[in-house]
Amino acid sequence: MPHLDDDTYWERRLLLCSDWATGGPALSRLTPTKQWLLHAFYLPSKPLRRSAVAEHRRRIVTRDRDLPRRASVAFQEFLDAQEAVDHDRRTAPPVSPRRGPTRGRRGRDEIRLRSLVRPEPDAKLLAQALLLAWTESTSG
């Protein structure tokens, strides 16, 4: 695999940041392991300057020399997922406000579930969960 120069690395990071900022429609099509690789190498969830990102890249590569290769493979899968998202958007039938839920094969509702990893815990959600658990344990 060819060497990843700083400009290409930055451009890839910007694509990932854009997807992350819109709820991760393409990222969520990847396995959690691939998402973790992309977060570890490109830091798409962090608003960082180019110099800070370059420094992160230098530091992380010294710790894990194989990470750039694995992240590049994951990035190619991300690009495929991005194409799939774009295709779905272009070919999706218009939604009518009067229509009920769409039916999948044999009349069953079709549900798609995807996961989007968070590189850091969401403190607000964690606090809400702890508060709810505490409230339930003391009221019962």
Contacts of 24 (CB under 8 A, 6+ apart): 116
Q: Say if residue 1's pLDDT is above 60.
A: no
Q: Which amino acid is at 124?
A: K
Task: Tell me the pLDDT tens digit for each residue of 2-42.
Answer: 578 999 999 999 999 999 999 999 999 999 999 999 999 99
pLDDT higher at 35 or 117? 35
For the chain, the domains span 6-92+118-139
Residue among 74, 16, 22 nearest 42 (CA): 16
Instruction: Report pLDDT for 110.
Output: 72
Instruction: For residue 109, list its beta bridge partners.
Output: 103
Residue in this structure with the two tokens 């493979």, named with its chain if needed:
73
What is residue 81's predicted lDDT score, i.e. its pLDDT?
97
With residues binned 3-state (H G I as helix, E B as strand, rest as coil), the percentages for the chain, rounded to 5, are: 65, 0, 35
pTM over 0.85: no
Q: What percent of the chain has pLDDT over 70?
A: 87
